Amino acid sequence: MYVVERMRDLGITKGKIRMAKSKEHMAELLARGDVDWVTETPIAASYLHEKSGAELLLRKWKKNTSEYYTVFFSLKDGAVKKLEDLKGKIIALEDPASTTAYYLPVHAMLQSGLTPVKLRNFRETPPADKVGFVFVREEINIATLVNKGLAHAGAFSNLDWDKEDHLPSQYRAQFSIFKKLPPVVRAVELVRRDLNPALKRRLEGILLQAGDDPKAQPVLHAYQRTKKFDALSGEQKQLIYDMYSIVDLVDQALTP
């Protein structure tokens, strides 16, 4: 393992991958010291920091991208032209862990005075004064439901908008973006709060130089096609930590 080989003098001889069932489970693993290092979206990172004290280490250029943002879209000839038009309508979203296709769009709706409610499926009719949303798991499913008129709108990232297997060009030609949200960091690396400072510094150094190391390229490609890692400013870190308010607001608003 690329990182382990460069930390042997600090007593690190092997690495282990732990899979968490949820963000709550990962927070428990970090708090117990069962996980030292994790890669996450900014929304999930804010939650892990709040619940376990995990600390931001670096920004990750996941899939060669440093930041992304949410786009809301609908059929060009449809009834939805702005957020307020979603009242009494259905919007298709990805899953309850997504940053750009759940937390950010639902937060935007709440901030606009709308009341999102989860539907069991797209065949349900939302209350006339609320916005019904359905989880469809894949970006292509979001696009398909909107294209077929089974959902009045969809939301995912600008990267998905430009990706042919997430949004085929024949669909895109029928859609228009009616709202864009501010960009956020694409992905980050975090470490548990009580990680040995020497290990933390070494890990940071290894990751920072990995983008320029030919030996690291196969590893980076396998690690979600990462281009490189770079530093987060104090302001960027605080913005990410502050995103917990979005998590908290959305979770509370949609808790049965």
Q: Please, are residues 5 and 216 in contact by the beta-carbon 8 Å criterion?
A: no
- What is the tens place of the pLDDT at every residue in 109-126? 999 999 999 999 999 999
Distance CA 27, CA 49 (A): 8
**pTM score, whole prediction:** 0.91
240 closest CA partner among 187, 191, 181, 180: 187
pLDDT tens digits, the chain, 256 residues: what are they?
Answer: 899 999 999 999 999 999 999 999 999 999 999 999 999 999 999 999 999 999 999 999 999 999 999 999 999 999 999 999 999 999 999 999 999 999 999 999 999 999 999 999 999 999 999 999 999 999 999 999 999 999 999 999 999 999 999 999 999 999 999 999 999 999 999 999 999 999 999 999 999 999 999 999 999 999 999 999 999 999 999 999 999 999 999 999 997 7
Burial class (CB in 10 A: 0-12, 13-18, 19+), 30: buried
Predicted local distance difference test score (pLDDT) of residue 1: 83
How open is the CA angle 137-139-140, to the nearest 5 degrees?
110
Q: How distant is the alpha carbon of residue 44 from its chain centre?
A: 7
Distance in angstroms (rounded) separating the CA atoms of residues 178 and 253: 24
Domains and their CATH numbers in the chain:
2-65+184-252 (3.40.190.10), 70-181 (3.40.190.10)
Asked if 109 contacts 103 with a C-beta cutoff of 8 angstroms, the reply is no
The CA distance from 146 to 11, in Å, is: 54
Residue-wise DSSP of 117-135: EE-SSTTS---TTSEEEEE
Which alpha helices (DSSP H) does the chain contain, by range? 2-5, 23-32, 42-52, 104-111, 139-147, 158-161, 169-172, 197-210, 217-222, 234-242, 244-253
Query: Residue 27 in contact with residue 48, Cβ under 8 Å?
Result: yes
Q: Are 126 and 90 in contact (CB under 8 A)?
A: yes
